[in-house]
Amino acid sequence: MSKAETGAGRGLATCHLCYKLAPVDLHRCPRCGTTLHLRKNDSIQRTLALLFTACLLYIPANMYPVMYTDQLGTETASTILGGVVLLINLDSIPVAAVIFMFSVMVPSGKLMAIFYLVWTAERHSRLNPRQRSIMYRITEFVGKWSMVDVFVVSILVTLVHLNGLLVIRPGIAALCFAGVVIVTMLAAESFDPRLIWDNMEDTNNDG
């Protein structure tokens, strides 16, 4: 059975713009002229820095009010979880489910998944690289839909304003949460998934 080998082991790099495979010695892609990098520079360090930033933003996003509800002159501040409970009490269960999924489950899952990928890449783990690559693609895909929560809150604010009896205004936590979404998307983009497969080549060389 032949041993698997990565392109890096053969001195080949993939252009990050047009995805052409070319010898890294050329320094520039022969098709589009973009600078070739064997791997993203300081990928692990930049990804970790962005992940810790996202974690710091996630604290005020959950502690401070994400929205203010003004019902017949009485204003109530609600955190993310408090807002979910409030929407359930208002029989807006589908909206509450969307906010809970994209405000709690998805951000937490993304942060844990990227931390796990960085940790295994840094430790040169021999865990199944194909499964970890699938995890990375799922994390990257889900990240593009994370702004659904902010979008739903914005639509909700507009619709409730039209009603007049109940007014909902976004709070500072909504801004922090948007920051979490953006920073985690940048973290996923900063992580170089090719590092996962480099470990496989190290294993083959050791054998």
pLDDT at 47 over 90: yes
Find the distance separating the first CA and the last CA of the chain, reported in whole Å: 13
Please provide the size of the chain in residues: 207
Report the pLDDT value the prediction gives residue 48, as an integer from 0 to 100.
94
Q: Report how far residue 11's alpha carbon sits from residue 8's, in angstroms, rounded to the nearest whole number.
A: 5
Q: What is the pLDDT of residue 154?
A: 66
Determine if the pTM surpasses 0.85: no
pLDDT digits (tens, 9 = 90+) for 88-134: 887 878 878 877 887 788 888 889 999 999 999 888 877 888 888 89
104 near 80, Cβ under 8 Å? yes
Q: How confident is the model at residue 45 (pLDDT cuts 50, 70, 90)?
A: very high
Residue 61 has what pLDDT? 86
Give the pLDDT of residue 205.
56
Going by DSSP bridges, is the β-strand pair 21-23/12-14 parallel, antiparallel, or unpaired?
A: antiparallel
The predicted pLDDT at position 53 comes to: 95
The answer to whether 97 touches 111, Cβ cutoff 8 Å, is: no
What pLDDT does residue 92 have?
A: 78
Q: What does the angle CA 78 – CA 96 – CA 74 come to, to the nearest 5 degrees?
A: 35
